[in-house]
C-alpha cells in the first residue's frame, strides 16, 4: 500500500492506473443470501412449476452480471432449482461467464412437513429448490450426494409453515437428533451447514446441533440468543425483503396488514440482534434477491441500511458486516473483504463518500470500477431481455371482481387472512 505499492507497480509493465478521485475505494460487497436461479419470481409456484433446468442456469448467468454492476464481488446462493447454481459457480470460476465469486448450496433439505410453501411441496423427493428427506438413512444419503456433486454448503429449512397452523408462524420441523445427524455427516466431509430458522426453538436447536450459519434467527428468546452467543454462530438476518415491503409496499399494492406483519419481523429482532452483535456474533448481509420484491442489481446494499436504522450500527460497522464478515459466507474469511496486504484484490470504486451515504451503493451508475482478484470486470449493461415463453405465471389482477369493484366506488381491501397465504 502507499509508496511501497507504487514502487512495486513500477516493476510490473502493462498496469493501468485508475483515477479514483472523489470516490470511495472499498472492498466489494458480499451478498450471503441471493437466489440467482429464481429470476425475480413473483411466487413459489412460479419457481416450482415454470422453470426449466438449462434455461434457468443461462438466465442466472445473465443476472449475475447485474450483481457485478451493483458492486457485488461475492455471493452465497443457498439453494437453487435443479441445484444448478453449482454449474454457474463452476462456469464463473472457469471464466466461461462473468460474475461474482460464488459459494453454493444445492437443494434445501426439508422434512415431509414441508418448508415455507405449505402443501405446494411434495411429501418426498424434489419440489423446486427443496428436497424432502424422511428418514435418517435418507438424510445421510442426501447430504453425501450433495457434497459429491459440488455443494459448498448444506442448506436446511429448519422451520416450515403447516397450513392448518399458519397463524403460529414457522415451526421447527426437525428433531434434535436429525439436526445433529445433518451436521455430523456434513462436517465429517468438511462441509459447513446453514439453516433457515425463524423462531426461538429452531434457532436454539440449530446452534446446539452445530450449524455454522443461521439465516433470519428472528424471534429469539433468551435461551436461543445465549446458544448463538456461546457458539458465536454467524447470523445473516436477510431482512431486506421485509424492509422493502415496509417502505414500498403501498406502491405495489400490498395490504397494510401484511406490511405491518413484515415490519414486526424486523422490529422484534432489534433487541436480540443488537445483543448478538455486541457479544461478538458476526452479522452477515444478505438481500434475499431472486424475488420480485428484491430484484437483482437494485438492493444488494440495502441490508447495510437495515443494520444502521434498526440495529444501531454506524455505517462503517455495517460496511464491515457486508464485506469482511460476510466473507465467511463464501468460505473466504481472511482472504477477501478487506483492502490490506495479503488479501485478494476484490475492490470497488464508488462515486461519493459511502460512509456518509450508504444509498450511493444503490445506484449502479456510481459503481465505476469492480475488480475481482485485481481483474477489472465488464460493467456495461446486459442486453435488454425479451419474454421467455412459459416462464412466468399469468395474473388476472390483484383484486376480486365483486359488483362493488365493477360498478361502485372502490371498496377498502378485505382484512388479511394469514391462513390463505400458504
Total of domains in the chain: 1
pLDDT at residue number 409: 66
Query: Which residues, in sequence order, are bridge partners of residue 268?
Result: none
Q: Is residue 268 part of a domain?
A: yes
Residue 409 CB neighbours (<10 A): 6
Which DSSP helix (H) or strand (E) runs through 376?
strand 375-376
- Decide if 186 contacts 193 (C-beta within 8 A): yes
Q: Is residue 150 part of a domain?
A: no
Q: Is residue 351 part of a domain?
A: yes
Instruction: Tell me which residue range forms the domain holding 330.
Output: 19-104+221-421
pLDDT at residue number 408: 73
Q: Compute mean pLDDT per 10 residues along the chain, 422 residues long, and list them.
A: 74 85 97 97 92 96 97 98 98 97 98 86 94 97 98 97 86 97 98 97 98 97 98 98 92 86 92 98 97 95 97 98 98 98 97 98 96 96 92 74 67 55 48
Location of C-alpha cell 463464501: 330
pLDDT at residue number 151: 98
197 grid coordinates: 430458522
pLDDT at residue number 167: 83
pLDDT at residue number 422: 47
Query: Distances in Å between the alpha carbon of 316 and those of 86, 117, 319, 346, 358?
Result: 32, 37, 5, 18, 10
Q: Is residue 293 part of a domain?
A: yes
Q: Is residue 328 part of a domain?
A: yes
The enclosing domain of 42 has a CATH number of 3.20.20
Q: Is residue 356 part of a domain?
A: yes
pLDDT at residue number 357: 98
Q: Is residue 45 part of a domain?
A: yes
Q: Give Cβ neighbours of residue 150 (< 8 Å, ≥ 6 apart).
A: 86, 89, 90, 104, 106
Phi and psi for 24 in degrees, rounded to 5? Answer: -95, 125
pLDDT at residue number 407: 78
Query: Distances in Å between the alpha carbon of 43 and those of 155, 183, 295?
Result: 20, 30, 13
Q: Is residue 162 part of a domain?
A: no
Amino acid at each position: 500500500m502507499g509508496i511501497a505499492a507504487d514502487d512495486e507497480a513500477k516493476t510490473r509493465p502493462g498496469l493501468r492506473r485508475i483515477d479514483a478521485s472523489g470516490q470511495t475505494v472499498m472492498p466489494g460487497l458480499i451478498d450471503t443470501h441471493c437466489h440467482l436461479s429464481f429470476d425475480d419470481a413473483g411466487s413459489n409456484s412460479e419457481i416450482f412449476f415454470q422453470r426449466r433446468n438449462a434455461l434457468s442456469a443461462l438466465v442466472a448467468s445473465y443476472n449475475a452480471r447485474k450483481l457485478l454492476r451493483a458492486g457485488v464481488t461475492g455471493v452465497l446462493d443457498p439453494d437453487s432449482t435443479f441445484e444448478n447454481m453449482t454449474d454457474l459457480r463452476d462456469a464463473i470460476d472457469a471464466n466461461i461467464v462473468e460474475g461474482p465469486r460464488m459459494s453454493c448450496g444445492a437443494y434445501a433439505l426439508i422434512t415431509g412437513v414441508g418448508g415455507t410453501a405449505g402443501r405446494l411441496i411434495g411429501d418426498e423427493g424434489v419440489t423446486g429448490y427443496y428436497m424432502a428427506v424422511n428418514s435418517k438413512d435418507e438424510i445421510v444419503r442426501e447430504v453425501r450426494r450433495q457434497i459429491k456433486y459440488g455443494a459448498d454448503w448444506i442448506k436446511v429449512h429448519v422451520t416450515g409453515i403447516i397450513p392448518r397452523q399458519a397463524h403460529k408462524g414457522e415451526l421447527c420441523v426437525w428433531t434434535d437428533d436429525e439436526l445433529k445427524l445433518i451436521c455430523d455427516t456434513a462436517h465429517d466431509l468438511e462441509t459447513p451447514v446453514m439453516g433457515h430458522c425463524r423462531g426461538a426453538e429452531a434457532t436454539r436447536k440449530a446452534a446446539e446441533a452445530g450449524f455454522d450459519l443461521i439465516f433470519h434467527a428472528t424471534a429469539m428468546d433468551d435461551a436461543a440468543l445465549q446458544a448463538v452467543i456461546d457458539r458465536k454462530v454467524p447470523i445473516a438476518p436477510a431482512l431486506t425483503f421485509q424492509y422493502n415491503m415496509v417502505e414500498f409496499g403501498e406502491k405495489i399494492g400490498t395490504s397494510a396488514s401484511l406490511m405491518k406483519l413484515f415490519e414486526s419481523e424486523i422490529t422484534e429482532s432489534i433487541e436480540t440482534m443488537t445483543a448478538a452483535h455486541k457479544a461478538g456474533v458476526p452479522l452477515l448481509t444478505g438481500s434475499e434477491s431472486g424475488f420480485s420484491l428484491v430484484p437483482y442489481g437494485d438492493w444488494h446494499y440495502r441490508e447495510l441500511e437495515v443494520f444502521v436504522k434498526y440495529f444501531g450500527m454506524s455505517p462503517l460497522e455495517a460496511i464491515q458486516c457486508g464485506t469482511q464478515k460476510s466473507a465467511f459466507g463464501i468460505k473466504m474469511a481472511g482472504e477477501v473483504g478487506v483492502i490490506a496486504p495479503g488479501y485478494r484484490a476484490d475492490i470497488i470504486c464508488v462515486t461519493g463518500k459511502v460512509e456518509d451515504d450508504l444509498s450511493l451503493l444503490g445506484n449502479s451508475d456510481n459503481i465505476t470500477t469492480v475488480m475481482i482478484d485485481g481483474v477489472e470486470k465488464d460493467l456495461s449493461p446486459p442486453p435488454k431481455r425479451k419474454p421467455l415463453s412459459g416462464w412466468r405465471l399469468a395474473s388476472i389482477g390483484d383484486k376480486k371482481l365483486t359488483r362493488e369493484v365493477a360498478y361502485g366506488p372502490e371498496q377498502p381491501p378485505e382484512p388479511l387472512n394469514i391462513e390463505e397465504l400458504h
